[in-house]
Structure 1
Amino acid sequence: MNMKMQSVGFKADEKLEAFINQKLKKLEKLENKVTTYDVILNVDKASNKENKVVEVKMNVPGNELFAKKKSKTFEEATDLVTEALRSQILRYKDKR
């Protein structure tokens, strides 16, 4: 798995990066042909509490899966993103 992680406007700590890496590795159990992950972490400038944004672009042979979720914490947003990608992987596998 080749993963590129980018945090915009702040420095992500190792604990957060390890958490995201662990969650994405679980997706590989569903689809083992993942070539790359592009992860973008961002803090929205909105005044509400749900301002942590996680975007993941996942490349598989012949397709690109994408999910973007916003939540109160990066961990919670990561959980939402991985669940969305899980659904997309299952649909992708059904089409093959």
Structure 2
Amino acid sequence: MKVTIQTPGFTGRPDLLKFTEEHIQKLHHLSDRLMEGQVVLSLEKSDENKNKVCEARIVVPGYDLFASKTAASFEEAVVNTCEALRKQIAAWKETTGASFPR
């Protein structure tokens, strides 16, 4: 699965980008029909500590799955976003009869 990561407004650390790509790639094990992952990591203007945002879109044939989570760290936001996407992928497979991993 092709994964693109954008970090508008700042330069993402290489270890953060690797962490994000690895977690998004793990979703591909849930279905071989996941085509592309698009991730945007951004900082929300806020006085609160929870201002790191991860938005992810997973492209599947005829459908897009989307999740967005805010947390105190980018890593936590990525993990929470991937968990939300896992649930959506499970629901998508159940309703469409999508193939399971081989």
Query: C-alpha root-mean-square deviation of aligned residues, in Å?
Result: 0.7
Show the counterpart of 2:39.
39
TM-score by length of structure 1 reads 0.96
Q: Which moved more, 1:24-33 or 1:71-80?
A: 24-33
Give 1:2's aligned residue: 2
Question: For residue 89 of structure 1, what is the amino acid of its counterpart?
Answer: I
How many residues align structurally? Answer: 96
**Structure 1 residue 40: deviation in Å?**
0.4
Give the secondary-structure state (helix, strand or coil) at the position aligned to 1:29. Answer: helix
Secondary structure of 1:89 counterpart: helix
Task: Return 5+ residue gaps in structure 2 as ranges.
Answer: 97-102
In 2: Cα distance, 1:24 partner to 1:57 partner: 10
Query: Which sections of structure 1, spanning at least 5 residues, go unmatched?
Result: none
Deviates more, 1:26-35 or 1:52-61: 26-35
Which has the greater radius of gyration? 2
> Cα offset for 1:59?
0.2
Superposition misfits of 4+ residues, deviation over 3 angstroms: none
The whole-number CA distance in structure 2 between the counterparts of 1:11 and 1:23 is 19
